[in-house]
Amino acid sequence: MATDKDMCEIHLINKEKVENLKNSLEDEEILRLAELYRAMGDGTRIKILHALSQEELCVCDIAALVDMSQSAISHQLRILRSLRLVKYRKEGKMVYYSLDDEHIINLFAQGLAHIRHN
């Protein structure tokens, strides 16, 4: 893939250190991290997550809240579910969603801190 791999590698002050870097994050972790952030990288899903950070909601209410079709929301919820960002609870024909754990709140807080601070 790298076309000019051996041209400027001389500039690495500490070649070993950089070589170690390659392995310090496992490939699978890189993929899963990217998936996680990508799942949060959509306006609709941000709105959903933010709403759920305040209170548990059923699908239909989320749809009303973000003013989108039930189908669109269901598709998005599937993504959020698959990454364990949200969990759900069935009650009759309703399905109530909520955030899966506190990490998401923290991710939110850090993200907001970044965009607000510069």
Tell me which of its own copies, DNA, none is bound by residue 76, counting a contact when its beta carbon lies within the kind-specific cut-off of 5 to 8 angstroms. DNA
Q: Let me know: does 59 contact 74? Beta carbons within 8 Å.
A: yes
Its sign, for the CA torsion 89, 100, 80, 65, is positive
Identified binder of DNA from the candidate list 76, 85, 99, 104, rule CB under 7 A: 76
Instruction: Work out how close the CB of 114 gets to DNA at its nearest, in angstroms, rounded to a whole number.
Output: 18
Residue 95 touching its own copies (CB under 8 A): no
Residue 32 touching DNA (CB under 7 A): no
Q: What are the residues binding DNA (CB under 7 A)?
A: 1, 3-4, 7-8, 10-11, 38, 41-45, 58-61, 68-72, 74-79, 88, 90, 92-96
